[in-house]
Amino acid sequence: MSEYLALLMFPVLLVLIFIGFPVAFSLMATTLIFGLVTFGDNLIFLLIDKIEEVGSNFVLAAVPLFVFMGSMLERSGIADRLFEAIHLWTKRLPGGLAVGTILMAILFAASTGVIGAAEAVIGLLAIPPMLKHRYNKALISGTICAGGSLGTIIPPSVVAVVIGPLANVSIGDLFMGMVFPGLLLATLYAIYIIAICVIRPEYGPSSEPSPDDPGLWEKIRLTVYALVPPLVMIFSVLGSMIMGWAAPTEAAALGALCSVGLAVFYRRFNMRMFSDALMATLRITSMIMLILLAGNMFTGVFAGTGGMMVVNNLIDALGLGPWGLLFLVLFLTLIAGFFLEWASVTLIFIPIFAPLVAAAGFDVVWFCILFMIMLQTGYLTPPMAPAIFYLRGVSPPEITLPDMYRGVIPFILLQLVVAGVVMAFPQIVLWLPSKVLGF
């Protein structure tokens, strides 16, 4: 009977979240209630084991390092320079400001890995010039929401750092496997923006030449000054892993060190900024780690009460087959992403479904990348789309909620296209890790 009791954990958890309890405390409360009913006083031993498991996981040391890297970059003025340098080259294109915003989002995602911070910074920088040039407000909204969410699927991603230990796969494999799907997604974004602005020029008019425009050599100088230092930092993180010089945690430490170096290089470093970055890192890391610990406790009690066996039996009874199972898991991930933050979906779904997908014969790294694409799609999808709420926080009143909802729809469809392509051609994910890391 206890195994069927475990299935009640999910509706209880959702009720607690929807009435306003923080995710971590909702997970812990559900764990405590059902754990005491099932195990009694012995629950304490399970919870201590889960605390030790999370606290001793060396890989998770990368989380505060990547968060610190993003916090430093957010305060160092690097995004401002990237925005200006990229738009020197793209503003003549149809929808050039929006295309430049996507390019900046790629670089910022590869420099931070923190989704909310990236979207807020990109929104603050990109909205005023696009409004000034009378861009379509739905296009502005969709571009910033989609570009800001690229940190999910472009390394180094904090999402991948959390998923790796839960799915028992290498973070390095995930980082390498994300490269081509992330670039494919960003490329389709840019192609869509150019195409819609060619068909409907009023959506994103190109900028006219101005006597104040810098010459070719000045453009090159500004671009080198803005791009080369961040690219060095990106190489220090990704390149050190690709070359086999550093593990993911060590690469994260290199990135954190380089972010301080960049702040010094651009003459933005001071103790106030450094202190603010440290406090932001402490707050975000504490939130992530508390949710991660609570999620481990939740799945420990769920598995301990026989919930995994019930899920297996239900899936066997449905007779879905391997591909039916995969589609079901991805569909549930997408639906859950409508309402829940990525951390909640990840901590609930990955420990339960990753072993089932592996047993069905699928590559777990490939599955994790598909899972992240679905997470990112849910991140954009109403009614609870976190990307839209981040955008509302930085957008002026003239960009309305209907503009935002209309704007994200084409980008959601593009993400589903990429998910289909990755599903049909697994080597898009698996080729680079096999060549670079040899797994």
Torsion angle of C-alpha atoms 86, 91, 97, 99, degrees rounded to 10? -70
The contacts of residue 322 (CB under 8 Å, 6+ apart) are: 360, 361, 362
Which of 36-40, 139-143, 300-304 is the least confident region?
Answer: 300-304
3 within some domain? no
pLDDT (tens digit per residue) in 387-421: 777 787 778 888 888 888 888 999 999 999 999 99
Most trustworthy range by pLDDT among 3-17, 106-120, 403-417: 403-417
Is 4 contained in some domain? no
Residue-wise burial string across 190-227, b where 16 or more C-beta atoms lie within 10 A, e elsewhere: bebbbebbeeeeebbbeeeeeeeeeeeeeeeeebeebb
Give the pair of three-digit tokens for residue 382.
């109403």
- Model confidence at 119, in pLDDT bands (50, 70, 90)? confident
Domain region containing 305: 60-436
Is residue 12 within 8 Å of residue 33, measured between CB atoms? yes
DSSP 153: T
What distance lies between CA 300 and its chain's CA centroid?
Answer: 25
pLDDT digits (tens, 9 = 90+) for 283-325: 878 877 887 788 778 878 877 777 767 777 777 777 778 898 8
Decide if 28 is inside a domain: no
Residue 16 lies in a domain: no
User: What does each C-alpha distance from 139 to 126, 136, 142 come to in angstroms?
Assistant: 12, 5, 5
In angstroms, the CA 299 to CA 345 distance is: 12
- As a whole number of angstroms, the distance between CA 387 and CA 401 comes to 12
Helix axes 271-304, 158-167, angle to 10 degrees: 30
Q: How many domains does the chain have?
A: 1
Neighbours of 280 (CB within 10 A): 19
Q: Answer yes or no: is 377 within a domain.
A: yes
Q: pLDDT of 44-93, one tens digit each?
A: 888 888 888 777 777 777 778 877 887 787 777 676 777 777 877 777 78
Residue 28 pLDDT more than 80? yes
Omega of the bond leading into 211 within 30 degrees of 0 (cis): no
pLDDT at 212: 66
pLDDT at 195: 93
User: What is the pLDDT averaged over residues 243-270?
Assistant: 82
| pTM tops 0.85 | no
Residue 2 has pLDDT above 60, yes or no: no
The pLDDT of residue 370 is 94
